[in-house]
Amino acid sequence: MDSGWRYRVSSVTGVVLLTAIAVALVNNTTIQSVATTVPLLSRLPTDPPTGSEFTFELLVTVAIVASVFLPLYKPRPRRILDAVALAQKRVLVAVLVLATIGYFDYTYRLPRLTVVLVTPLLLVALPAWFVWIRKRPSSDGERTIIVGDDLQFIETVTSEVDETFLGYLCPTNIVTTPEQSMAIADGGIQSNGLERLGGLSRIEDVLVEYDVDTVVLAFEYADRAEFFGALDACYEYGVRARVHRDHTDSVLTASDGVGTLVDVEIEPWDIQDYVLKRAFDIVFATVGLVVLSPVIIGIAVAIKLDDGGSILYTQERTAVFGEAFNIYKFRSMSPGEASAEPAEDEENSRVTDVGKIVRRTHLDEVPQLWSILVGDMSVVGPRAVWTAEETLLEADTQAWRQRWFVKPGLTGLAQVNDIKSTNPSEKLRLDLKYIRQQSFWFDIGLVIRQIWKVATDVVATMNEIARR
């Protein structure tokens, strides 16, 4: 039995057994009696089913939960956080189905107390099971592929590294001779004895099909669309990524390291910090949008009264691994062609009267709370840079792409120190310092500093307006 089938059997067996055990536990008379001492559960009847009634309840619950978890039986490598999130979502769907069946058809209804008690057990047990059996990147390099865009560089890596490779991925258009073109057309091209497994677009399929543990990136240049696209695939599939030491300026490495290959720090946060950070993002964005709703309405009205133009301004910004997303800000400038060249606010003649106020008080950034809520941004991280401006900064500042290893943030170490893109070297230094020192409590400290800074700027601006 190959590893794929072993994973499928393990995942299905675990879901069935853990669900059955959970149902049996919550139908214990003692457990139900203790549970109903909780005020919210005191009104629910404690009459656990027995005999054929219990068997029927057990089979219904197991069948529904096992069916709902069908998408997770595919042997796809996953990060810990993804495994937990996906399993918990499936548990909630299963509970909703059980509750819906009980509402519309009494014949198949589980006792309400059973549904209530079994939910927290499954929310813990099933995610833990999928984390336990998930595919993990190994450190021994047993199942390794090379992904690159330069055959000579791929051959250099294979000759310099003492590892056994399954094959390599490269685009068809990099071949330089008719013989190579014919070989690819016939289904494969050998490089130092390695089989070509396909083009770069097949990386996700190959990671699963070949049960890959490690990907060695052998690109001539750290190109955003290809180099970071491959890194993104490794990130999504929980696969270890390594790069040639010549590329350490373009990636966030796990350590200084020695030798030809260096590990890439794809997940610089621990799992508990990931959970805390995302939970904090959601709470902060939600509370901020609710509390600031009167301010949001006031700014919208002021912008409309000022020049009658649009209230929001949309711009494409760079996210994790060089991907792009749209952010929203309160429009602070009159319409016109924007320049990618970084400039100070006072140098921009297009800033409106209302725009000067919202920029000085940082309130033009409030709509970005929505980007945080939906997961495009975080509260704390390197500032998201306009994609057109990003190209200029990459060319000007070495190692700029290392900022791409964490989500962009509303605030961060560079932001609280008033360092902008007009000083890219210092901005990069502070952003990388944050990335290497980041933790949940470090984030909290930066948020407190930013809130104090915003409050100070708002008070100063209001006092200046009052004196006029």
Q: Are residues 363 and 384 in the same domain?
A: yes
Residue 436 domain flag = yes
Q: Are residues 256 and 285 in the same domain?
A: no
pLDDT given at position 185: 42
> Which tokens sit at 274?
């990931």
pLDDT given at position 285: 92
pLDDT given at position 317: 86
Q: Are residues 307 and 400 in the same domain?
A: yes
Give tens-digit pLDDT for 236-290.
776 778 887 766 666 666 555 556 677 776 655 555 566 678 888 999 999 999 9
CA 456 to chain CA centroid, nearest Å: 33
pLDDT given at position 9: 87
- For the chain, the distance separating the N- and C-terminal CA atoms, rounded to the nearest angstrom, is 80
- Residue of 100, 41, 39 whose CA lies nearest to 68: 100
Q: Are residues 332 and 463 in the same domain?
A: yes
Residue 326 domain flag = yes
Q: Are residues 115 and 90 in the same domain?
A: yes
Residue 138 domain flag = no
Domain termination site, one of 213, 242, 263: 263
Domain termination site, one of 75, 107, 133: 133
Q: Are residues 121 and 238 in the same domain?
A: no
Domain termination site, one of 86, 104, 133: 133
Give tens-digit pLDDT for 66-88.
988 887 887 666 667 778 888 88
CB atoms inside a 10 Å sphere around CB 219 = 22
pLDDT given at position 354: 81
Calpha distance 268→254 (Å, rounded) = 8
Q: Are residues 421 and 375 in the same domain?
A: yes
Residues with Cβ < 8 Å from 140, sequence gap 6 or more? 213
What range defines the domain where residue 401 resides? 271-467
Q: Are residues 296 and 428 in the same domain?
A: yes
Residue 429 domain flag = yes
Q: Are residues 112 and 155 in the same domain?
A: no
Q: Are residues 116 and 151 in the same domain?
A: no
Q: Are residues 90 and 212 in the same domain?
A: no
pLDDT given at position 290: 92
Residue 383 domain flag = yes
Q: How far is CA 391 from CA 31, 129, 318, 395, 464, in A?
A: 62, 44, 10, 6, 38
pLDDT given at position 77: 60
Residue 139 domain flag = no
pLDDT mean for each 10 residues of the chain (468 residues): 70 92 84 69 64 82 89 71 83 85 58 80 91 64 77 77 79 56 44 74 82 81 70 76 70 60 66 72 92 90 83 84 83 66 56 81 88 89 80 68 79 86 80 79 90 86 78
Residue 303 domain flag = yes
Q: Are residues 447 and 344 in the same domain?
A: yes
Calpha distance 456→155 (Å, rounded) = 58
pLDDT given at position 389: 75
Residue 425 domain flag = yes
Domain count, the chain: 3
> In the chain, how many H helices and how many E strands?
17, 10
